[in-house]
Amino acid sequence: MNRTILLLALCTSLSSLPAQTNPGIRARVIDALTREPLVAATVSFDGQGGMYTDSLGRFQLTAPAAVHIRMLGYNAWSGRLQAAAEETLILLEPAEQALGTVVISATMKEVTKDASPIPVEIYTPRFFQKNATPNLFEALTIVNGVRPQLNCNVCSTGDIHINGMEGPYTMVTIDGMPIVSGLSTVYGLSGIPNGLVERIEVVKGPAGTLYGSEAVGGMVNVITKDATTAPRFFVDMFGTHIGEMNLDGAVAARSGNAHTLLGINYFRFNNRLDINGDNFTDMTLQDRVSVFNKWSFRRPQQRIASFAARYVYEDRFGGEMQWAPEWRGTDSIYGESIYTNRVELLGKYQLPTARRRMMLDLSWNLHHQNSVYGKTVYLGKQQIAFAQFTTDLPLGKRHDALLGAALRYTAYDDNTPATARPDGIQNAPSNTWLPGIFLQDELELNARNRLLLGLRYDYHSAHGNILTPRISWKRAQNAQNILRLTAGSGYRVANIFTEDHAALSGAREVVIMEDLRPERSWNGNLNYVCKFYPARAGFIGLDASLFYTWFSNQIVPDFTTDANKIIYDNLDGHAVSSGISLNVDVNFLNGLKIMGGATAMNVYRVENDVRQPQLFAPPLSGTWTLSYPIPKLRLSIDYTGHLSSPMHLPVLPNDPRPAQSPWFSIHNVQLTWKPARPENRVGNKQLDQLELYMGIKNLFGFYPREEIILRAFDPFDKYVHVDNPNGFTFDPTYNYAPVQRQRVLLGVRWKWE
């Protein structure tokens, strides 16, 4: 459908061709699934020449006639239109080849979403534009089963939870490569601008067979824009009344057989707010710039060759309201100041061969961080080099086999005990090699049933041999009913900085038990997709999943044994994440679209026969998106939000803060207006699109009223022995929602095709 949408944008300029304007029979042509007007569809009548639909999908006839309507990507429609008092609505069905959005995360091959044996959720920039955000981390708040979790109330570190499992269990990749990993997981997510995203693919459940370590609970794959199909010029800028400013811009060009896309993102927020009166900033101050450049080269026989580079710089601060840079690293006024420099390189090349498809993927990134947390100085440096080779295997007509080999090298160094030698004097940087080989075969059993088998072998330089199998069965009764059953295994090893930022934020000592073993997980997922086409509601889509994951050797932080320590060790027991999720997509004939999702889950661990609930894992959560267009006003209304039930929070014995969060929900409303524009075209290939939007984020102004930072008045623990019978220390890790009131947003979006 992405190609169809691009074609619609390119062809909109055709609406200036002659059309019937005399009063008579009125008709409107729309997409049967999305209910969006189809612009520049060809309308012929009585076997003669015809006209094109206008910018609202409408056309008129002066007399009854036999009509034939055609548009690329859709099945043709034929019928006779008679005089009627009301406008006749004509629905064009997408052609079979256009029904499925292309996905690659499940099998490392481009297949349609419906054809994929692994359930994959697809989210396009248009979906996220319904609730404008400055980065990927915030954008994911309206995705069902995915929870961006803030882990520190001072510097706003965060990670992405999938189905209740903590951030280290989620693998974040860019174009299928492990760019956001380890150290960069904490701060790298906020540096991914929405402007470079073509789509986001979410796989829930282990994907370790293809992607190896860290893909234990699921993965988020960010697919960047293709330089050959990106708009020639794009800009999206907005600001809020509290001082946030965000700019996304991109320019595409061509030189010979090379296409290039240059993008920039700039975000700034420099307004110190303290609405809960604890003398700490409620939102971190940020000054961030990200520059992205991608080159695509047209090769003989349509082979793929591309190269991309990105640079990110961020200056981030959170702390006491009176902090200034001269207090950085001192014990007078508390502040957390983080300077991040990050470089990423990505390359993809299809090797020349006539027999089979062979792909080579390469990436390298450098993440350098200079941080202070109060008086604690953290200097971290991480490099990840990645190479992967994949090729199709000719096993027969009923087989679609993939063979791959990968090598991942991670170099990590910091100034903490995590990389110190036992003598505490010399440093011992971590250098990890992770070679692996994997095989996947998708077997067509018959017209309705497909079986996918996968196996991966990795050798971790610290943990030895690791096998991760996967099996999936897909049964398609027809295009409207698809059943998938998937089971697999995943694994991960610990990165202490990633595990919990509380290790540095605050005064707790990190204790790492010796011989940490890699975690293992076993997952089962039953997914059912059903599509309906009722007469009154043009389209209803249901996507339901049952999931169950068993963890062994789970690496868990212990906050409660000692109030001054965080102790990391393997769990002497097991952990479980289970539940059910449901996504509903309803498109009405009047243009109203409703997308809703709910996830009910039970996440816990068992140690010494004692069952303990998982922190930051609400048993029930939900998301929603309601969109309604008003064509006459060129206006669309979007209402988005998410709901969370009470979740367990990290508290200490006799802690004055509640052990569970309350029920809460965040609501956002946004209006988008497309002003009437003069035709701007060269032939029929270029199009000028302008959108103005305004909204209110957190419409009802919910934020935590509790004392979310424990002992905010004594961040350096200088008076910990004064009137403190419980021995509490400064602790900023208690968090379940941002401390933000309503924010009014104004923005403009302009695109030139």
Pairing of strands 358-373, 335-350: antiparallel
**Residues 233 and 252: beta-carbon distance below 8 Å:** yes
**Which of 135-144, 301-310, 347-356, 506-515 shows the highest mean pLDDT?**
135-144
CA 405 vs CA 111, 221, 359, 648, 683: distances in Å:
21, 19, 11, 41, 47
Please provide the CATH number assigned to the domain covering 2-97.
2.60.40.1120
> Does position 498 have pLDDT exceeding 70, yes or no?
no
Class for the domain spanning 224-752: mainly beta
SS3 529: strand
CA 357 vs CA 116, 175, 391: distances in Å:
19, 18, 6
SS3 118: coil
> Does position 499 have pLDDT exceeding 50, yes or no?
no
Environment class of 96 (CB within 10 Å of its CB; exposed 0-12, middle 13-18, buried 19+): exposed
Query: What are the sequence ranges of the domains in the chain?
Result: 2-97, 103-223, 224-752
* Phi and psi, residue 496, nearest 5°: -60, -40
pLDDT of residue 621: 96
pLDDT of residue 553: 78
Of residues 124 and 389, more confidence is placed in 389
Long-range (24+ apart) CB contacts under 8 A made by 544-547 are 544/580, 544/581, 544/582, 544/583, 545/119, 545/204, 545/580, 545/581, 545/582, 546/579, 546/580, 547/163, 547/204, 547/205, 547/523, 547/577, 547/578, 547/579, 547/580, 547/581
> Does position 508 have pLDDT exceeding 80, yes or no?
no
Mean pLDDT within 519-544? 84
Question: Length of the chain, please?
Answer: 753
pLDDT of residue 622: 96
Residue pLDDT, tens place only, 21-63: 445 788 988 877 666 778 778 888 765 667 878 867 888 888 8
Pairing of strands 146-150, 285-297: unpaired
CA 426 vs CA 410, 416, 504, 613: distances in Å:
20, 11, 20, 40
Mean pLDDT across the chain, nearest whole number?
A: 83
> Does position 100 have pLDDT exceeding 70, yes or no?
no
Residue pLDDT, tens place only, 240-251: 999 999 999 999
pLDDT of residue 130: 92
> Does position 494 have pLDDT exceeding 80, yes or no?
no
pLDDT of residue 670: 97
CA distance 487 to 451: 12
DSSP string for 197-257: EEEEEEEES--HHHH-TTTTSEEEEEEEPPTTTS-SEEEEEEEETTS-EEEEEEEEEEETT
Residue 669, sorted as left (phi over 0), alpha (psi -120 to 50) or beta, turns out to be beta
Place of tokens 């079986």: 451
Q: Which of 435, 439, 438, 417 is nearest to 426 (CA)?
A: 417
Residue 68: its H or E element: strand 65-70
> Does position 298 have pLDDT exceeding 80, yes or no?
no
635 token code pair: 């206006």
> Does position 376 have pLDDT exceeding 80, yes or no?
yes
DSSP string for 534-588: -SSSSEEEEEEEEEEEEEES-EEEE-SS-TTEEEEEE-SEEEEEEEEEEEEEEE-
> Does position 577 have pLDDT exceeding 60, yes or no?
yes
pLDDT of residue 562: 66
According to the CATH classification, is domain 103-223 in 3.50.50.60? no
Residue pLDDT, tens place only, 403-456: 999 999 988 888 876 676 666 566 778 788 889 999 999 999 998 899 999 999
Place of tokens 């349609």: 112
Residue 94: its H or E element: none
Residue pLDDT, tens place only, 621-649: 999 999 999 888 889 999 999 999 999 99
pTM: 0.82
Of residues 214 and 383, more confidence is placed in 383
pLDDT of residue 131: 92
Instruction: Identify residue 40 by its one-letter amino acid code.
Output: A
Place of tokens 């699934």: 33
Mean pLDDT within 502-517? 56
DSSP secondary-structure letter at 320?
B
> Does position 97 have pLDDT exceeding 50, yes or no?
no
CA distance 480 to 542: 10
pLDDT of residue 680: 58
> Does position 691 have pLDDT exceeding 50, yes or no?
yes
Instruction: Identify residue 147 by its one-letter amino acid code.
Output: R
Residue pLDDT, tens place only, 1-27: 444 444 334 334 333 333 334 457 889
pLDDT of residue 711: 92
* Residue-wise burial string across 131-158, b where 16 or more C-beta atoms lie within 10 A, e elsewhere: bbbbbbbbbbbbbbbbbbbbbbbbbbbb
